[in-house]
Amino acid sequence: MNNGFVRVAAAIPNLRVADCAFNIAQISELVYKGEKEKVQVICFPELSITAYTCADLFLQQKLLIDAEKALYDLQMLTFSTTAVIIVGIPLYVQNQIFNTAVVIQSGHILGVVPKINLPNHNEFYEKRWFTSGANVDTKSILLSGEQVPFGADLIFTDCNFSFGIELCEDLWVPIPPSTQLTLHGADIIFNLSASNELIGKHIYLRQLIEQQSARCLAGYVYASAGAGESTTDLVFAGNGLIAENGKMLSNAERFSFEPQLIVNDIDIDRLQADRIRNTNFCNDKSPQVYRIIKLEEVNFTSFDLKRTFDKHPFVPPISNRDDSCHEIFSIQVGGLAKRWKHTQVENVVIGISGGLDSTLALLVCVKTADKLGYDRKRIIGITMPGFGTTNRTYNNAISLMKSLGITMMEISIKDACVQHFKDINHDPDQQNVTYENTQARERTQILMDIANKHNGLVIGTGDLSEMALGWATYNGDHISMYGVNSGVPKTLVRYLVDWAAQDLDPLSKEILQDVLNTPVSPELLPADAEGNNAQKTEDIVGPYELHDFFLYYFVRYGFSPSKILFLAKNAFAVAYTDKVIEKWLKIFIQRFFAQQFKRSCMPDGPKVGSINLSPRGDWRMPSDAIKFNTNF
């Protein structure tokens, strides 16, 4: 495999009904094309050697003999190819005819899988010609001069991945064969199909494939008969679909008269990672024994992926923006509302810096107060200017609190910090970690004490990305009484604030837009001579969009650093050089391991997505674990 990916193809050839020699020539051309594209498994439609719409011709000896001869010709034509080929053919076995899929590699037949569920509705009455493979006693058949495995109990595997096969109608029954195939180890399902077109059927078919791939935590490759079929009563559009765990990766152009090869790469590592985490996955595994058929490894180690990866995996697509953002806010608001009511405190207390995180947390507080019917004055916002506070963030903090109508307080921390420096005998000109953390802890002390004084609850503003990197002062901004942003990574914080701005009054919207344009910073070091921020977080720890990408694949799927690097290079090829990505990935791994002790005692907060770092549920890691090797 190439970094855990297997390249697969759904092939839609141009066929002629009952013209086996012509059909084999068309199939061979697509096999050669697939070989050039480094495809590892190619799936053709149901009964592709004869075409599906032969009807009573399937009962003619001539067609059955021609089909077997054509199959042998295909073996000879593809003897020098390495890809696994799956084609459909009617086979005469012990006085019965079966609708089958034949698996070929390097000219050899590896196995034959018969269709189990035969349609019996008007347009498809396959029981007129074929026998179900459900209860066949025959375990092998003589085909092309050799004994080959035969049955619906075959799983094909090499050292990297496994696949199973079902045929058309098999997918549409309540418990498809693919369910048990995947429970017994198949990573990918190939479906040879011949499904006609009807109004609304295509949408349902896509949903069916997406749902089955999601339910089975599998890849799903679907190849269906195309325009070469008979149109006596039905029309076939040539559906080629490739899905992975609920997501459609590729699809053919329907109703095309040109042969098509739909190619994409399925991430086996990702599928297996989900299966590992789902300990219920094999609960319904049947006692049936499946036969394992060995493949020759088809390993093209150097090919560019056909698929791309979203640079911002935490950020919902624009098409779902309103629904997704409303849902996220609802989760945050729901969590805070419960805590506010349960503790029976009068107020919530929040530090407002004029930055992104505190802005989002404040918006959550405002929405919560509105939801509960509380006066917004029960939200106490405190801005605490220090040695590094710039006019820009200070003015934004003041203006935002005023525009949202909350209780506003301003408490400078400068004198308190200077006194503390004297108490601990620290030179304030030595602007090191002591200098910075003194300010962060002073702010937290003020928030906690104001909360005590006003019967309040301190709301944390730190986000998921900061906790992943440990970019927080221990017992400073690391601590709160409820962290509403604890499940929201930085890239999503920005997205949510931008979305929320659209529904606010013009003044608040203008303030939020300026907050979005302000560089992320803790502002713990003095500004430069022009009064500008001298401490930009992303210059120190790296771009948050990279760290969020690393975090997603490290925690969600448990990928190795080398696999994450491979994906990041694919996603950020234009934005960053390989060396820059490697640099920040090493920093991410180093900080993630070194800063676990902060996450081990992080405060409560709501989970909003598939990833969270709460030590009480989602992420349990020893604080003294040795970091992974990052010698790429």
CA atoms of 627 and 591, how far apart (whole Å): 9
Is residue 191 within 8 Å of residue 216, measured between CB atoms? no
Q: Which amino acid is at 528?
A: D
Q: What backbone phi and psi angles, to 5 degrees, belong to 382? A: -125, 120
Please say if the pLDDT value at position 576 is more than 90. yes
CA 540 from centre of chain: 29
Is residue 20 within 8 Å of residue 70, measured between CB atoms? yes
Query: How confident is the model over 420-465, as pLDDT tens digits?
Result: 999 999 999 999 999 999 999 999 999 999 999 999 999 999 999 9
- State the chain's mean pLDDT as an integer: 95
**In CATH, which of 3.30.70.260, 3.40.50.300, 2.40.110.10, 3.40.50.620 is domain 318-599?**
3.40.50.620
What pLDDT sits at residue 527?
Answer: 81
Q: Which amino acid is at 30?
A: L
The string of DSSP codes covering 133-196 is: STT----EEEETTEEEEBSS-EEEE-SS-EEEEEEGGGGGSSS-HHHHHHHTT-SEEEEEE---
The string of DSSP codes covering 439-483 is: HHHHHHHHHHHHHHHTTEEEEE---HHHHHHT-S-TTTTT--SEE
Q: Which residues of 154-164 are buried (b: 16+ CB within 10 A; e: fewer)?
A: bbbbbebbbbb
Q: What torsion do the CA atoms of 593, 608, 307, 105 make, to the nearest 10 degrees? A: 80
Q: What is the mean pLDDT of the segment spanning 607-620?
A: 94
Assign 227 a pLDDT band (cuts: 50, 70, 90).
Answer: confident
Higher pLDDT, 524 or 406: 406
What pLDDT sits at residue 159?
Answer: 86
What pLDDT sits at residue 297?
Answer: 85
CA atoms of 241 and 187, how far apart (whole Å): 16
Of 160-174, 195-209, 277-291, 525-539, give the lowest mean pLDDT range. Answer: 525-539
Please say if the pLDDT value at position 579 is more than 80. yes
What are the residue ranges spanned by the domains of the chain? 5-294, 318-599
Please say if the pLDDT value at position 302 is more than 80. no
Residue with tokens 């018969």: 114
Helices (H) and strands (E) in the chain, counts: 18, 20
Please say if the pLDDT value at position 122 is more than 90. no
What is this structure's pTM? 0.93
Please say if the pLDDT value at position 301 is more than 70. no
Helix (H, G, I), strand (E, B) or coil at 31: helix
- Copy the structure tokens of residue 373: 């019917």
CA atoms of 164 and 189, how far apart (whole Å): 5
Please say if the pLDDT value at position 1 is more than 70. no
Q: How many CA atoms lie within 13 A of 275 on its CB side?
A: 21
Query: How confident is the model over 313-337, as pLDDT tens digits?
Result: 999 999 999 999 999 999 999 999 9
What pLDDT sits at residue 303?
Answer: 74
User: 456: closest CA among 464, 465, 448?
Assistant: 448
**In CATH, which of 1.10.1060.10, 2.60.120.620, 3.60.110.10, 2.60.40.1930 is domain 5-294?**
3.60.110.10
What pLDDT sits at residue 120?
Answer: 82
CA atoms of 24 and 13, how far apart (whole Å): 10
CA atoms of 194 and 52, how far apart (whole Å): 7
Query: How confident is the model over 194-210, as pLDDT tens digits?
Result: 999 999 999 999 999 99
Higher pLDDT, 199 or 528: 199
What pLDDT sits at residue 598?
Answer: 97
Query: How confident is the model over 17-66, as pLDDT tens digits?
Result: 999 999 999 999 999 999 999 999 999 999 999 999 999 999 999 999 99
Higher pLDDT, 283 or 434: 434
Catalytic residue numbers, as ranges: 46, 115, 168
Higher pLDDT, 79 or 299: 79
Query: How confident is the model over 464-475, as pLDDT tens digits?
Result: 999 999 999 999
What pLDDT sits at residue 123?
Answer: 65
What pLDDT sits at residue 503?
Answer: 83
Helix pair 544-551, 490-501: axis angle to 10 deg? 120
In percent, how much of the chain has pLDDT > 90?
90
Helices (H), 304-385: 321-343, 356-372
Assign 632 a pLDDT band (cuts: 50, 70, 90).
Answer: confident
Please say if the pLDDT value at position 272 is more than 70. yes
Query: How confident is the model over 362-377, as pLDDT tens digits?
Result: 999 999 999 999 999 9
CA atoms of 86 and 295, how far apart (whole Å): 13
